[in-house]
Amino acid sequence: MCDNLDLDIKVMDTMHHEFLALLNEIKDCKPSEFITLFENMIEHTKDHFSVEEEIMGIHDFYDKQEHSNEHVALLEEMQYFYEKSKQIPAFGKSYIHQYAYDKFKRHIINIDSQLAMFIKKSEIIL
């Protein structure tokens, strides 16, 4: 996980760094901590997405609906794996170790980057 995913929008970059830190923590955690850390990651993701959706709403971002739909899909998937991992821990572990980072990276590169560009072009002060 050494890609530079910074978008040069402080509020977004901070949340993305925090997410990556939480993801790394789960990857290295004891089995007994897994569910709690997974819950923390879901809560952080809800806050992260809410902040972006608020920015998009206030500034009437042209692609806010598609961006928000992608947030819903990502969060639903995360919650699905969280629920599954309560019964089958390996299920959650495969999501955390093999999918979560790529999903997150793709969202930043393909979707969040457009919002970041809009914020810069519109000279929005956050």
Per CB under 5 A, 119 contacts Fe ion: no
Does 112 contact Fe ion by CB under 5 A? yes
Q: Which is nearer to Fe ion, 52 or 81 (CB)?
A: 52
Which lies closer to Fe ion via its Cβ, residue 29 or residue 70? 70
CA-atom Rg of the chain in angstroms: 15
Binding of Fe ion at residue 61 (CB under 5 A)? Answer: no
**Beta carbons within 8 Å of 64's beta carbon, 6+ residues apart:** 53, 56, 57
Question: Minimum CB separation from Fe ion for residue 16, in Å?
Answer: 6
Rounded least distance, CB 85 to Fe ion, Å? 23
**Does the protein bind Fe ion through residue 74 (CB under 5 A)?**
no
Q: Is 52 in the site for Fe ion (CB under 5 A)?
A: yes
Closest by CA position to 22, among listed 6, 45, 4, 47: 45
Give the largest Cα separation in the chain, rounded.
48
Task: Please list the alpha-helical segments (H only) found in 60-124.
Answer: 64-87, 89-94, 100-107, 113-121
Residues engaged in binding Fe ion (CB under 5 A) = 52, 112
